[in-house]
Amino acid sequence: METSQWNYPAFREQQHAFKSEDGTLTYIDQGEGPVILLLHGIPTSSWLYRKMIPGLVAAGYRVIAPDMLGFGSSDNPKGYEVYTPENHAKRLLELMDSLHIKSWSHVTHDAGGLWTWELLKTNPERVSHLILLNTIIYTEGFHPPIKMKEGVFAKFSMWLYKNKSTTNILLSQLFKKGLKENELSKDEIAGYKIPLNEGKTRAMYQFFSNTCNTLPNYEETLRTCNIPSLVVWGKHDDMLQWTPQQDKVRKDLQITPENIHLIDAKHFIQEEKPNLINDYIVNFLQHLKNQKIHEN
């Protein structure tokens, strides 16, 4: 069965489990070959990549797609400090260590960028290639749908996300803002709705009431990581805009113009253009592989 055809309960049956010190992380592990890690953001999970996974596997890659703690079918422990970017990065490294994966091509979306930069601050050698899909990088262009102070209002807002009578409304608003055309089926939306109805909102609370308000500065991390990088960005994204930060990102990551692709999509580009994104990723990795062979 292809990942893109799974319903969400069947998708969960395909996931493996890793027990971190903070709780269990679930993840997809499919295919053989060089490793590509697919990192989601907020309030999504590995389900976001279901349309991309089969194509990358067919292209000869081993695909790892985790549900980070507090998302998808992973555990949802009490507390909020456990969901800081630093702790998300720590658990991601623990997961890859448990799989004996020393380095990988790293795809990141949305708040996954924050967890990525934290990982690169301490372990840049683990990422061989970096692929940015509408992800958080700098404050320029960063326009989150909500920002809140810690407290009663923020907790009430998170309750609305997990309350079955209001989840549909909030997801509908999110996809209206994040998709050019919302053509998601009821089964597809269930993959986003079920975790919220299960109460997976603590990590969201930490982000929207803390990290979101004071975005960490990762300029030094980006300037010194020296990793071949690819950008595939939905050019109609209002929440994470490319243009205000493009010069800064291109300079800091030393990205050449041919490795920047602005596509006809909004924020959730994995839903709108999965095959196109796969083509860009595979071509990018294959080109670098051929270049390395030629140099040797």
pLDDT, tens digit, 9 for 90 and up, residues 168-224: 899 999 999 999 999 999 999 999 999 999 999 999 999 988 888 888 999 999 999
CB 196 within 8 A of CB 161: yes
pLDDT of residue 1: 41
Does any domain span residue 204?
Answer: no
Residue 182 in any domain: the answer is no
CA distance 56 to 43: 23
Question: What pTM value is reported for the model?
Answer: 0.95
Is the confidence at residue 2, as pLDDT, over 60? Answer: no
Quick check: is 272 in a domain? yes
In a domain, 242, yes or no: yes
Owner of token pair 């929440």: 239
- At 5, the pLDDT band (50, 70, 90 cuts) reads low
Residue ranges making up the domain that contains 8: 3-145+216-295
Counting Cβ atoms within 10 Å, is residue 294 exposed (0-12), middle (13-18) or buried (19+)? exposed
For residue 15, being part of any structural domain is answered with: yes
Span 15-54, pLDDT tens digits: 999 999 999 999 999 999 999 999 999 999 999 999 999 9
On whether residue 200 sits in a domain, the answer given is no
Per DSSP, 15 falls in state -
Helix (H) or strand (E) holding 128: strand 127-135
C-alpha distances (whole Å) from 59 to each of 34, 47, 99, 263 are 10, 20, 21, 22
Q: Look up the CATH number of the domain holding residue 31.
A: 3.40.50.1820
Tell me what pLDDT residue 290 has.
87
How many angstroms separate the Cα of 274 from the Cα of each of 48, 67, 102, 149, 294? 10, 19, 27, 35, 30
**Close Cβ partners of 144 (under 8 Å, ≥ 6 residues apart):** 208, 212, 239
Share of the chain above pLDDT 70, in %: 97
Q: Which residues contact 39 (CB under 8 A, 6 or more apart)?
A: 66, 68, 92, 106, 107, 108, 109, 112, 115, 116
In a domain, 191, yes or no: no
Task: Count how many domains the chain has.
Answer: 1
Please write the tens of the pLDDT for every residue from 138-173: 999 999 877 778 888 888 888 888 888 899 899 999
Q: What is the mean pLDDT of residues 229-234?
A: 98
**For residues 83-97, average pLDDT:** 97
Has residue 256 been placed in a domain? yes
Residue 296's pLDDT is what? 63
Q: What is the pLDDT of residues 235-285, one digit of tens each?
A: 999 999 999 999 999 999 999 999 999 999 999 999 999 999 999 999 999
pLDDT of residue 160: 85
